[in-house]
Structure 1
Amino acid sequence: MKNITLIAIIVLSFFTSCKEEKKEVVTEETQQEVKISSSLKWSERMALSIMKRFPKARDVDNHKTINWNYKHGLLALSFEKLYQETGNEKYFEYEKGYADDLIDSTGTILNYDIEKYNIDNINAGKILFFLYEKTKDEKYLTAIKTLRKQLENHPRTNSGGLWHKKIYPYQMWLDGLYMGQPFYARYIAEYEDGKNFDDVAHQFEVCYKQTYDEKTGLLLHAWDESKQMGWADKTTGKSPNFWSRSLGWYVMALVDVLDYFPEDHPKRQMLIQQLNDLSTALVKVQDKSGIWYQVPNFPDREGNYLESSGTAMFAYAFAKGVRKGYLPSEFKDVANKAFDGLVKELVKVDDNGEVHLTQTCKGAGLGGNPYRDASFEYYIGEAKRVNNLHGTGPFILAALELNR
């Protein structure tokens, strides 16, 4: 009996030892797998770095609660484009994982309240078109239609512009054009037989006219039709300063909306002209490093800094604009100069090949509590972050467009 017990112990110890040895081997292999090769393109290097830090897209930026968020939508869209370029399913699964964590089997969007009429909430809906096309899962279509319903009833200025949010009445921010219009245009193209393209164009017409600065050719961050906000000029309603990322949102909105505008639509050329005029004005304030400053027209003012997210957005928009024939070919050189600047000055790579994007403004808005006054001091005083979603998504998009 003792001999049998001893044999059993020896056998058990052997298998336990094998398991432990196998576990060590797997761990070693796993550690080798997470080393990100410098031979990959920047788009994949950044994407793999993000996946390594956050296995689920919903957790990126360490939000306390998961929510339907424009920033995560931007990141997921960049993974969609990366999947379409590489065919690597893990990028598709990362995008799909975000949608599935936020949308239940009935198509209900977690923590989404249509009555808030927040234009930011439309942006993540862009990924649902491709997910529905690829999977045929009706929950994605249900969510798409919910977001379209928000636009149908979204409050507007007297001139027909969509408010940025219900809590910001009669205001249009440059950011909002990117948040709402590419989704709106694609929905019109795919589900409304091209009706309402005039309304999409009108959003750009109103916003451009009301934020345009004749001296620089740039667009100011926002406009308050009511002129009630403290930051609003009492004659024009314009906010007092330029912000690089808001300009980035706007040019990205233009190149993405044009994907869906019919070539014979009478307002198409207006959108292309806006892109050309604004891009030309932006080149004039590009730093010699290739990067744009947080407040782009005051490079020498104390506290101003080279900011990564706006620069990545410009690189993407210019490169895509050239590829699609909207911009002259020299803007491809501008885009490459911008990307070179990002890589040289603001990208850090650690020993495992993990890519980090630095000097991204965490966020900048207007009004609210505590009150944001749109002053130069306000914009430069907002927190800077490393690997913030506002920058990493556009970085991937720019790298893809430039094939870098």
Structure 2
Amino acid sequence: MLSTPQLNDWDWIDAIQMGMPVLAKMGVLDNNPAFYEKMYNMYMFTRDKEGANGLYNPKDGLWWRDADFDPPYTEPNGEDSYWSRGNGWVIAALAKVLAIVPESTRHRDQYIKDLKAMAKALVPLQRKDGFWNVSLHDENNYGGKEATGTSLFIYAMAYGVNQGILDKETYVPVIKKGWEALIKDSLHENGFLGYVQSTGKEPKAGQPLSYDKVPDFEDYGLGCFLLAGTEIYRMNLE
């Protein structure tokens, strides 16, 4: 029987990003559906029960970073606090899991449904320059272009298009605009990435961002960018 790890409030979104693909891979390697069930149970607990009512808001199609940001907490403009990279971890994890588990796996439809809902919610939030703001619902509270959330959104959307989960006409322009923003405004000639938010858990962490700022992070900025690049390569965008 697989035990459930004990997590603090601030670990839940990270647990989705890190834990779900690992459990999915273990299920494949061990040919053991128990890993898929544990993955699903942990995901749904985080989605619907953690904190007061779960960390996912189906009304907005987005996730609060942890229980500290559940309502009544709001951004200065009165909107819910949706952190770009926090939501990026979730939608990227959904894409990675779908890429790993067999199509016959139970609960796969749940992951597809949530990926679609998140992608739909993110489209109107894309900035004119192709990035997404650090704060998804308050552009004046540490809004600004941010590379990691943008990369993760592009990765998941591109995966969805490549797999026939998301509509090409709707999402290819969004993906192309985001990818061009990353390679134009974030990527340096030597491979350094600008506008990468440092380690944190909310929009204000590691601010201010800039093209030249060296963030305090553990290589996830590059990892997010490369994830997006793998799916962009498969799309063969022109």
TM over 0.5: yes
SS in 1 for 2:64: coil
Maintained 8 Å contact 2:134/2:145: yes
Give 1:313 shift: 1.0
Residue 207 (structure 1) aligns with = 46
Q: What's the TM-score, normalizing by structure 1? A: 0.49
SS in 2 for 1:258: helix
Does the C-alpha gap of structure 1 residues 293 and 217 become closer, same or farther in structure 2, counting only changes over 3 Å? same
Give 1:337 shift: 1.2
Maintained 8 Å contact 1:177/1:204: yes
Maintained 8 Å contact 1:289/1:341: yes
Unaligned runs of 5+ in 2: 49-53, 74-79
In 1, Cα distance between the equivalents of 2:34 and 2:99?
16
1:277 aligns with 2:117: yes
What is the CA deviation profile of residues 317-374 of structure 1, one whole-angstrom value per residue up to 9, with x for unaligned ones?
Answer: 111121122222232332221111112222232xxxx222101111113xxxxxxxx5
1:218 aligns with 2:62: yes
In 2, Cα distance between the equivalents of 1:173 and 1:340?
32
Residue 181 (structure 2) aligns with = 341
In 2, Cα distance between the equivalents of 1:153 and 1:193?
15
Q: What's the TM-score, normalizing by structure 2? A: 0.80
Residue 221 (structure 2) aligns with = 391
In 2, Cα distance between the equivalents of 1:203 and 1:245?
20
Residue 200 (structure 2) aligns with = 364
Does the C-alpha gap of structure 1 residues 153 and 269 become closer, same or farther in structure 2, counting only changes over 3 Å? closer
Give 1:233 shift: 4.9
Does the C-alpha gap of structure 1 residues 386 and 315 become closer, same or farther in structure 2, counting only changes over 3 Å? farther
1:331 aligns with 2:171: yes
Aligned AA (1:211)? L
Give 1:285 shift: 0.8
1:246 aligns with 2:81: no
1:3-402 alignment runs, 5 A limit: 152-156=2-6, 163=7, 168=8, 173-209=12-48, 210-223=54-67, 231=68, 233=70, 241-299=81-139, 301=140, 303-329=142-168, 330-349=170-189, 354-365=190-201, 378-379=204-205, 381=207, 385-386=213-214, 389-402=219-232
Larger radius of gyration: 1
Give 1:178 shift: 1.2
Does the C-alpha gap of structure 1 residues 155 and 400 become closer, same or farther in structure 2, counting only changes over 3 Å? closer
Maintained 8 Å contact 1:204/1:271: no
Q: How many residues are treated as equivalent by the alignment?
A: 218
Aligned structure 1 segments of 4 or more residues deviating by more than 4 angstroms: 151-154, 232-236, 382-385
Maintained 8 Å contact 2:81/2:135: yes
In 2, Cα distance between the equivalents of 1:211 and 1:315?
22
Aligned AA (1:343)? I
Identity over aligned pairs, percent:
26
Does the C-alpha gap of structure 1 residues 234 and 305 become closer, same or farther in structure 2, counting only changes over 3 Å? closer
In 1, Cα distance between the equivalents of 2:133 and 2:166?
23
More displaced, 329-338 or 278-287? 329-338
Give 1:382 shift: 6.9
Residue 94 (structure 1) aligns with = none
Give 1:383 shift: 6.8
What is the CA deviation profile of residues 78-133 of structure 1, one whole-angstrom value per residue up to 9, with x for unaligned ones?
Answer: xxxxxxxxxxxxxxxxxxxxxxxxxxxxxxxxxxxxxxxxxxxxxxxxxxxxxxxx
Tell me how large the CA RMSD over aligned residues is. Answer: 2.7
Does the C-alpha gap of structure 1 residues 235 and 294 become closer, same or farther in structure 2, counting only changes over 3 Å? closer
In 2, Cα distance between the equivalents of 1:235 and 1:243?
16
Maintained 8 Å contact 2:134/2:144: yes
Maintained 8 Å contact 1:364/1:382: no
Unaligned runs of 5+ in 1: 1-150, 157-162, 224-230, 366-373
